[in-house]
Amino acid sequence: MRRPLIASGNRARLRLLVPRVILFREEHLPRVLVKRVDFVSAAAVTPGISRRGGPHALLTNMALFEFDKATYGFRLRSVHPPYSTADIRANTGFAYEEPENVPVTTPPDAATLSLIRGHILDELAETNPAFAKLMMEAA
């Protein structure tokens, strides 16, 4: 009998199939966003192997990065207020590309905020109540 994969095994499989995986971390710190990891459960890219899915972006409490499959790395796309590009550099353990002019992240409009704080937060609470509680407190 074939046993289903659990935890990171399923995430590894999904990252190969889902076309736009958006990674997120609540903490943007060098100990979280490290230069090198001890174990890779789902490689972003493998040279010579074509994949349908993979990382599209990395969203943290400080910034938004986009993933470049050609260079196998991240590029800083925008910085969330009140942080600066210097804050991002000081709190990121891995190397990334930084354009000359990095825009400030555009805040969501009222309708999007309402959707996030309402329906999306309710849906999130069903599958991840602890994280939903943190988001409710932050909202």
Per-residue pLDDT tens over the stretch 60-99? 999 999 998 888 889 999 999 999 999 999 999 999 999 9
CA pair distance 42, 59, nearest whole angstrom: 18
Domain residues for 124? 108-139
**Pair 70, 137 in one domain:** no
Residue 65, in any domain of the structure: yes
Strands 73-79 vs 21-25: parallel, antiparallel or unpaired:
unpaired
**Pair 54, 93 in one domain:** yes
pLDDT tens digit string along 4-47? Answer: 544 555 566 666 667 777 888 888 999 999 898 786 666 666 66
Peptide bond into 82 cis (omega under 30): yes
Q: How many domains does the chain have?
A: 2
Cβ atoms of residues 60 and 24 within 8 Å: yes
Residue 120, in any domain of the structure: yes
**Pair 85, 19 in one domain:** yes
